[in-house]
Amino acid sequence: MERRTKMFYAVKVIQKKVTKLDCLNIKQLTSPEKKNIGHLLTLDHQNVAKLKELFETSFSLHIVVEFANGEELFRRLTKMPIYNEKTVGYYFRQVVDGIRYLHEYGIIHKNLKPENILLNTRDSDAIVKITDYSPQLFTTSDLDLEMVCLTTTFCAPELLLSRCYDKAIDLWALGILLYIIQDDIGLPGAYYPLQLMKSEKKSLILTRIKWITSEFIFKTFGMNYKSKSTQTQQRLGDAQTLNIE
């Protein structure tokens, strides 16, 4: 709790030695790098957990962010006896809005997964807070995969294959998240999205999913990986046209 304002914040501690960031020193960052951090501190969107400040010790990096006093979105949904597309639309639209905001400011989340989509309160009208988007500013090209792909379920193929990537990788994760939320089969099927989409049973699996969302999911997974530009443009186009009524 901050004594002056009585507001609560969460602190994420990254051990430099464990994550191979032992050479990092915020005070020694270049001007562009400091500008990036300053830029991150100015972000302000209702669906993105606000970054309060950063500080470090010789052994760890501390990231202070807005505290979400609710629970994980997926935990909230699993507690419901039943939920419909209106409920899905209410929450998923907020997730998309938050990611769109980050993308507009040049930030790729790279670690979208259920644990990073929280609710600000335990009330029924709670709003989504996307978290854990800040560490990406402290990674290098050699460490990106190790630091952000701890949960390969939501990683796009180009990230897993150590290829060049851009904000389209977040759209891949959104597709998997939407599939999990929309279909009551649950997480096990989503662990193998490519195999699942090629399955002869795919039409049966998605029978209960609204047409527009199922189309978005198939397009998200069904990219031609030989063409990076086509892949990116198609994913972004699909996400921008997604509109859950």
User: Domain 73-241 classified CATH 3.40.30.10?
Assistant: no
Lowest mean pLDDT among 35-44, 69-78, 96-105, 192-201: 192-201
Q: What is the DSSP string of 98-134?
A: HHHHHHHTT------SGGGEEESSSSTT--EEE---S
Average pLDDT rounded to a whole number, residues 26-46: 67
Paired tokens of 110: 């790279």
- Predicted local distance difference test score (pLDDT) of residue 213: 56
CA 171 from centroid of its chain's CA atoms: 9
Can you name the CATH fold of 9-66?
Answer: Phosphorylase Kinase; domain 1 (3.30.200)
- Predicted local distance difference test score (pLDDT) of residue 36: 60
User: How many whole angstroms separate alpha carbon 39 and alpha carbon 29?
Assistant: 14
- Predicted local distance difference test score (pLDDT) of residue 107: 85
- Predicted local distance difference test score (pLDDT) of residue 4: 83
Ranges of each domain in the chain: 9-66, 73-241
Between the alpha carbon of residue 19 and those of residues 60, 95, 107, 164, the distances in Å are 10, 28, 21, 22
Residue 54 has pLDDT above 50, yes or no: yes
pLDDT band at residue 133 using 50, 70 and 90 as cut-offs? confident
Taking the alpha carbons at both ends of the chain, their separation in whole angstroms is 39
- Predicted local distance difference test score (pLDDT) of residue 137: 52
Sign of the dihedral defined by the CA atoms of residues 234, 175, 100, 133, in that order? negative
Q: What is the pLDDT of residues 113-122, one digit of tens each?
A: 889 999 999 9
- Predicted local distance difference test score (pLDDT) of residue 123: 92
Q: What is the pLDDT of residues 221-235, one digit of tens each?
A: 554 433 444 444 454
Give the DSSP H/E element, type plus range, for residue 78: helix 73-79
Predicted model pTM: 0.70
Q: Is 84 helix (H, G, I), strand (E, B) or coil?
A: coil
User: How many whole angstroms separate alpha carbon 220 and alpha carbon 172?
Assistant: 6
Residue 147 has pLDDT above 60, yes or no: no
Tell me if 202 sits within 8 A of 139, measured CB to CB: no
